[in-house]
Amino acid sequence: MLGTSALVAAERPVLTHPASFTAKAPDTFTAKFETSKGVFLVEVHRAWAPAGADRFYNLVRNGYYDDCRFFRVLDSVMAQTGMHGSPQVQAAWDGATIKDDGVHQSNARGTVSFATAGPNSRTTQFFINLRDNRAFDRVGSTPFGRVTSGLEAVDALYSGYGDGPPRGRGPDQSQIRARGNAYLAKDFPKLDYIRTATIEK
């Protein structure tokens, strides 16, 4: 007989099939992130960004973020994660974009938004604002939640590698796509990471 954890895992959609991640998020919920620097909680409000909240809810509850590195941490600006350690999983999600939500909350310190590369381009990468980044509002970065506990752990994430190419010498997203966590562990061993991410309520 399968144990509870095995049953939960068996019921999860396969990570390489984004089309299976279709659950509607509750109006509000809390996601717990256990990281190499400590625990932080994200309180999500679906009214702020329905499409973003639904995507985040599905990713967290199905284990997508487990073992993801904080590959882009800019001192007192932002901490970004959400590229999967498996190149096969990452490839499956690269084209799984969601439509834009209107920006109803500003990117204030502690808020959480999906990264964007232009209109309707959000997938799995998200960032936590380490300061008030109101300029991000104008490019469509839409907060869907905020860190309510453990922001000191986020502030402590390793930032010594800086930004990636072409702005800096930090992790290269094209190499993360191609080689996953093997690349990050070899070339950027000091990166902090998410041990587990779960839905609390």
The CATH number given to whatever domain includes residue 40 is: 2.40.100.10
Which segments in the chain show pLDDT lower than 50? 1-10
Per the structure, how many domains does the chain have? 1
Residues whose CB is less than 8 angstroms from the CB of residue 139 and which lie 6 or more positions away in sequence, other chains included: 116
Burial grade of 92 (CB within 10 A; 0-12, 13-18, 19 or more): middle
pLDDT at residue 11, rounded to an integer? 61
Average pLDDT of every residue of the chain:
94
- Is 9 part of any domain? no
- Is 109 part of any domain? yes
- Is 2 part of any domain? no
Burial call 17-34: b when 16+ CB within 10 Å, e when fewer: ebeebeeebeeebbbbbb
Give me the domain span that covers residue 114: 24-199
- Is 1 part of any domain? no
177, 8 Cβ separation under 8 angstroms = no
CA angle 75, 78, 82 (to 5 degrees): 125
- Is 3 part of any domain? no
- Is 126 part of any domain? yes
Overall pTM > 0.75? yes
- Is 17 part of any domain? no
Q: State pLDDT tens for residues 46-91.
A: 999 999 999 999 999 999 999 999 999 999 999 999 999 999 999 9
DSSP code for 135 = G
- Is 13 part of any domain? no
